[in-house]
Structure 1
Amino acid sequence: MDIAKEVKKARRGSKSSFEKLIIAHKLLMYRVAKTILTNDEDCADAIQEAIINAYQKIDTLKEPAYFKSWLCRIVLNECYQLLRKKKNVINIGDLFEPQMTEQGYEEVEVEQMLSKLPEEQSQLLKLFHIEGMSILELAQIYEVPENTIKTRLRRAREKMRELWDVKEEGSSWINGKRK
């Protein structure tokens, strides 16, 4: 599928072209939403709102080649908006359900370490290393130069390395003795 061609058609009002674009990017939208929101239902809500906003604002997209990053930016904004709305709301189901999922120990450790990082650093590492987004795509999403993304990634990795070193030091001592 030629994305630029479909974007141009969608800008002219073609609903089927817009639908093709959304279908082609649905996994990406979910992955971006999942880096910010933990609940799948919240991800679905944010994606749904993002699709509506994208459809209404497709004519504001100046360069068809940037559709992917433009759409990701809309999804991110919707996720942040949803978080702001839910900031003081507690889900009763969360109070009674255990939070442990069927993940390997390594995945749980990585998630725990990422949760200790500042939100922006955690999100950036997830998008780059887990979701496989390029530095150029991240620069377009965050609306900053590529070198800024590289610097932020380097700092996030350094912080992650510090957390790992602290974790390793703590696990190597039992009752005051080295293992």
Structure 2
Amino acid sequence: MELEQDSEIKLAKNGNHEAFINLIKPLELQMYSIAKAILRHDEDCADAMQEAILKAYKSLPSLRQPSFFKTWLFRILINECNTIIRRRSSMIPLLNLDEAQYDAPNPEVRIDLREAVYRLKEVSRTIIILHYFRDLPLRQIAEMLDLNEGAVKTRLHRARVTLSEWLTNHKEGEVNV
């Protein structure tokens, strides 16, 4: 299987479009699953996947280790998802009361765990989503984010502490999981 993938990667690096499609096709469902966990909106998922695939195709010659193709592709996808989130957060909504209620902690506000996760900083949010929502092992997350496993563990711990504090401050509200 890995030898077959290596030969497909060689062909794709040499401009064979069919070989590139053969590499991407079996990973589309996993890509969508990761994008959906990070972005939540189907339109954003489609945009992130499309951009990630295009960037992967254009930068395929820079892939040094064919055995890391999947991790490399997922890292590109995660970066695209985070770009979309940054772009979305820099836009000023005209009036969106549903999201405005999460801007400032308030004991009267009902907190949804997913909403709390999406309030985390980019890397922490990504680690929480990949580990708890996608059940990826810390080692694989470290590879995807180009961090060492210890850094991922530390960020995961800090994110859990932050979430715990936010949720504790909302003890009168209801928490959905």
TM-score relative to the length of structure 1: 0.73
* Counterparts in 2 of 1:17 and 1:132: CA distance versus 1, 3 Å: farther
Q: Residues of 1 paired with 2:124 and 2:83: CA distance? A: 19
Instruction: Using the TM superposition, give the Cα deviation of residue 70 of structure 1 relative to its aligned residue in structure 2, in angstroms.
Output: 0.9
Higher relative contact order (CA 8 A, sep 6+): 2
Which residue number corresponds to residue 67 of structure 1? 69
Q: Residues of 2 paired with 1:162 and 1:113: CA distance? A: 11
Which residue number corresponds to residue 91 of structure 2? 88
- Listed as ranges, the gaps of 5+ residues in structure 1 are 100-107, 173-179
* Counterparts in 2 of 1:46 and 1:116: CA distance versus 1, 3 Å: closer
Q: Residues of 2 paired with 1:26 and 1:137: CA distance? A: 18
Deviations 1:58-90 (A, max 9, x none): 111000111112111211232333345443265
Which residue number corresponds to residue 134 of structure 2? 131
Q: Residues of 2 paired with 1:142 and 1:15: CA distance? A: 27
- In the alignment, is the contact (CA less than 8 A) between 2:37 and 2:133 conserved in 1? no
Q: Residues of 2 paired with 1:55 and 1:117: CA distance? A: 31
The percentage of aligned residue pairs carrying the same residue is 33
Deviations 1:105-139 (A, max 9, x none): xxx83213313433332221111111122222211
2:155 pairs, out of 152, 155, 165, with: 152
Q: Matched residue of 1:62: which SS?
A: coil
Which residue number corresponds to residue 44 of structure 1? 46
- After TM superposition, list the pairs within 5 Å mapping 1:110-125 onto structure 2: 110-125=113-128
Instruction: Using the TM superposition, give the Cα deviation of residue 152 of structure 1 relative to its aligned residue in structure 2, in angstroms.
Output: 1.1
2:58 pairs, out of 56, 68, 80, with: 56
Q: Residues of 2 paired with 1:88 and 1:164: CA distance? A: 27
Q: Matched residue of 1:167: which SS?
A: coil
Could you say what the CA RMSD is over the residues aligned between the two structures, in angstroms?
Answer: 2.9
TM-score relative to the length of structure 2: 0.74
Q: Matched residue of 2:81: which SS?
A: helix
- Listed as ranges, the gaps of 5+ residues in structure 2 are 100-110
- In the alignment, is the contact (CA less than 8 A) between 1:35 and 1:123 conserved in 2? no
